[in-house]
């Protein structure tokens, strides 16, 4: 039986014949553990080192509560989306893209374009951020070896971009499975190194004074709390679960749950250990990157140089994997339009356009990373506006529309409550992030050699 077309959908996007994006980039060959590797790379990244900073806006009790609730809600959200995808697959409509799933279930053409816009903005933003942070990692190592060297941040960003251009030629999402397995171990590696460094710093004679008090002003506390919520929500977000599930060999039933359990096992170990150790040592003086707190501008380093150096190397290597994972949606869109599914994946007809387009995409990301080293503030806004609808609202809505639980059921009210609460949190978090952007505006200069914190 031929796949059922989308309701009221004019888009040829969902047709599988001659769909090079599906055949090449989103080929379905993976096992559940491969999905777990992809998910872990998409969620567990160097942003885990921001968690102590998020705690300083919430305090111990509320910090633990929000971290746990966000973890439970996102696991539940991703599980619901996997059930919707499995339901569509059993009905003869296997969706491999977030945008076509949303358009099918919600029956709206504008939803297709809404998801394309939000998902592309978030994924491109993360790719730019990965290149920027990787450049900063090399700059940190360079400044230790040559404190007065002539090279600037944009030079290191250019180096990272060249490496990313070479790595971007892996033809499919599935072909990244071994890279993402290494990425999983790298995330555990630098987390353990940083946790050990924090414990060592907390017990040393140079340990900083600990103050866990929140800001004095009630208004400032509220803004800080919602900024912290936005940070935690963005850290748990990924926005590409349908594309990750697309890499699974059909039938996908039950496989995604196993992949999620693998991913959240790593999350449990890394998120809580980094949060507790970093906030315990630095309290309300925790930097937005705990490595910077361990390497203060004034005074001695609070951890052995080799430990921090190894952690930076691990972070640098994982950032390449993260940049590759979040580029797959852009590659799939490009390949859908430029490649010929009837030709071999490495045929000149497909290879030459792939090299040109992916090189241009990465070069563009690298250019924006060099031009906007204050991109972290911009990304905070993009994260609040993008991750909330993709990961906290749409999955619940898709589940309610697909399975139609009774309005008197617990499931319906849990899903509806999550949508309402996180829509409100997303709006307030966006406002807080924009406020920080405005406050930091006087620090913004194009192509400067230091990332605005």
- pLDDT one-digit tens code per residue, 108-156: 777 788 888 888 888 888 898 899 889 988 988 888 788 888 888 889 9
Q: What DSSP line would sit under 62-130, residue for residue?
A: HHHHHHHHHHHHHHHHHHHHHHHHHHHHHTT----SHHHHHHHHHT-HHHHHHHHHHHHHHHHHHHHHH
- Residue 370 to residue 162: CA distance in whole angstroms: 13
Residue 248 forms beta bridges with which residues? 30
Q: What are the chain's domains? A: 15-442 (1.20.1740.10)
> Are 287 and 51 a contacting pair, CB within 8 Å?
no
Structure tokens given for 154: 């944009």
> Tokens 């230790």 map to which residue?
144
Predicted pLDDT at 1: 41
- pLDDT one-digit tens code per residue, 340-389: 888 888 999 999 999 999 999 999 999 988 887 655 555 566 666 777 88
Q: Who contacts 346 (Cβ-Cβ below 8 Å, separation ≥6)?
A: 171
Task: Say what percent of the chain tops pLDDT 70.
Answer: 89
pLDDT tens for each residue of the chain, 453 residues long: 444 444 444 344 445 557 888 888 888 899 999 999 999 999 999 989 989 988 988 999 999 999 999 999 999 999 999 999 999 888 888 888 888 888 888 877 777 888 888 888 888 888 988 998 899 889 888 887 888 888 888 899 999 999 999 999 999 999 999 999 999 999 999 999 999 999 999 888 888 888 888 887 888 888 788 778 878 888 898 889 999 999 998 888 889 999 999 999 999 999 999 999 999 999 988 887 888 888 876 777 888 889 989 999 999 999 999 999 999 999 999 998 888 888 888 999 999 999 999 999 999 999 988 887 655 555 566 666 777 888 888 899 999 999 999 988 999 999 999 999 888 877 777 777 677 667 666 665 665 666 555
Give the single-character DSSP code of 171. -
- Residue 230 to residue 237: CA distance in whole angstroms: 10
Predicted pLDDT at 374: 58
C-alpha radius of gyration, the chain, whole number = 22
Structure tokens given for 135: 């450049």
Q: Nearest CA to 274 among 180, 197, 185, 379? A: 197
- Residue 441 to residue 423: CA distance in whole angstroms: 27
Q: Who contacts 348 (Cβ-Cβ below 8 Å, separation ≥6)?
A: none
- In the three-class reduction of DSSP (H, G, I as helix; E, B as strand; rest coil), residue 141 is classed as helix
- Residue 35 to residue 253: CA distance in whole angstroms: 13
């Amino acid at each position: 039986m031929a796949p059922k077309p989308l309701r009221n959908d004019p888009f040829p996007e969902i047709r599988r014949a001659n769909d090079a994006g599906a055949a090449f980039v989103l080929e379905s060959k993976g096992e559940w553990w491969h999905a777990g590797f992809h998910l872990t790379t998409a969620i567990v990244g160097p942003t885990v080192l921001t968690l102590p900073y998020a705690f300083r806006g919430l305090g111990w009790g509320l910090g633990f509560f929000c971290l746990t609730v966000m973890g439970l809600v996102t696991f539940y959200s991703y599980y619901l989306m996997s059930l919707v995808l499995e339901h569509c697959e059993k009905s003869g409509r296997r969706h491999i893209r977030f945008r076509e799933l949303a358009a099918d279930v919600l029956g709206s053409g504008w939803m297709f374009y809404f998801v394309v816009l939000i998902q592309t903005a978030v994924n491109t933003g993360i790719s730019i951020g990965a290149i920027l942070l990787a450049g900063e990692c090399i700059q940190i190592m360079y400044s230790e070896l040559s404190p007065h060297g002539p090279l600037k941040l944009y030079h290191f960003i250019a180096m990272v971009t060249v490496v990313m251009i070479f790595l971007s030629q892996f033809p499919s999402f599935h072909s990244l499975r071994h890279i993402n397995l290494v990425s999983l171990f790298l995330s555990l590696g630098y987390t353990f190194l940083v946790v050990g460094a924090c414990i060592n710093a907390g017990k040393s004679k140079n340990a900083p004074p600990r103050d866990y008090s929140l800001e004095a002003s009630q208004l400032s506390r509220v803004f800080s709390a919602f900024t912290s919520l936005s940070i935690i929500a963005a850290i748990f977000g990924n926005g590409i679960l349908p594309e990750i599930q697309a890499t699974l060999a059909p039938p996908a039933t039950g496989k995604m749950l196993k992949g999620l359990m693998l991913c959240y096992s790593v999350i449990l170990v890394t998120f809580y250990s980094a949060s507790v150790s970093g906030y315990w040592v630095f309290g309300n003086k925790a930097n937005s990157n705990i490595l910077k707190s361990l390497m203060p501008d004034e005074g001695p380093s609070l951890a052995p140089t080799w430990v921090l150096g190894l952690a930076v190397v691990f972070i640098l290597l994982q950032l390449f994997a993260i940049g590759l994972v979040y580029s797959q949606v852009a590659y799939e869109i490009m390949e859908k339009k430029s490649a010929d599914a009837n030709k071999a994946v490495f045929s000149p007809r497909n290879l030459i356009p792939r090299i040109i387009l992916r090189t241009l995409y990465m070069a563009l990301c690298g250019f924006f990373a060099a031009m906007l080293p204050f991109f972290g503030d911009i990304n905070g806004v993009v994260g609040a506006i993008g991750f909330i609808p993709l990961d906290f609202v749409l999955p619940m809505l898709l589940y309610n529309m697909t399975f139609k639980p009774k309005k008197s059921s617990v499931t319906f009210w849990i899903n509806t409550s999550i949508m309402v609460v996180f829509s409100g949190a997303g709006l307030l978090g966006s406002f807080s992030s924009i406020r920080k952007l405005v406050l930091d505006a006087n620090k913004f200069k194009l192509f400067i050699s230091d990332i605005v914190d």
